[in-house]
Amino acid sequence: MKKQTLWIELLTIYIFTPLLFVLGLIPSTVLMPVLWLFTFYAFLHLRHTKIKLFAFNFKKKDLFYILKRFVLIATLMILFVVLYHPDIFLILLKTKPLFWLGIMFFYPVLSAYLQEILFRAFFFKRYQKLFNDNPLNLILLNALIFSYIHIVFLNWIAVILTFIGGLLFAHTYLRTKSLMLVSIEHALYGNTLYTIGLGYYFYHGGFSI
């Protein structure tokens, strides 16, 4: 595919569409369906590649690495909420326990895994050639795009947190090439975020991602 076409595709999926949500030209109620539509498009392109979409193809040492990193970062996240925003700490668990439980079960599959197909596996496979295969540039760009799409939530906390998350997830995926491992990592942070109260910044129009 020509580079010009790839650029148009990239800008349409990752730049223009979130902007249309922010401008109100696309209603927020279809946020998740649009994510699923783009993910299905990405899946169609990836299913005939060497990328293993459903395999637990990672090493134990890589799993332990992300778990150790997660424990440290999750601890910092909890301390941040307890010290600076105690009114939202565990708020979802306290006020809507069944809703919280639903997120714990469904977020890893219906959000984290699908996002990793679109934002990591598809992004790096499809657009890596546009950026000269420089790992550091790719990680930074991927994190910037991942945080940018969260402008749909209309707050800077969501953008900042997802930039940090984007750096972690891009690094994990490029290092291990395991979609399942980075999906597990994404789910760990996402479930923690909603549990400790920071999900408040990721809720918009009745949908959470």
pLDDT at 208: 44
Distances (CA, A) of 101 to 33, 93, 105, 178: 22, 8, 6, 27
pLDDT tens sequence across 193-202:
999 999 989 8
Q: Give me the sign of the Cα torsion angle 12, 145, 175, 189.
A: negative
Classify burial at 137, counting beta carbons within 10 Å of its beta carbon; exposed 0-12, middle 13-18, buried 19 or more. Answer: exposed
Give the mean pLDDT of the chain: 93
pLDDT tens sequence across 61-97:
999 999 999 999 999 999 999 999 999 999 999 999 9
Q: Is the pLDDT of residue 131 over 90?
A: no
Q: Which of 24, 58, 190 is nearest to 119 (CA)?
A: 190
pLDDT at 206: 39
Number of other residues whose CB lies within 10 A of the CB of residue 142: 24
User: Residue 130's Cα: distance from chain center in Å?
Assistant: 22
Q: Which of 107, 172, 183, 100 is nearest to 135 (CA)?
A: 172
The span from the CA of 74 to the CA of 180, in Å, is: 20
**If pLDDT is split at 50, 70 and 90, which confidence band does 204 have?**
very low
Angle, helix 156-176 to helix 60-84, in steps of 10 degrees: 170
SS3 content of the chain, % helix, strand, coil (to 5): 80, 0, 15
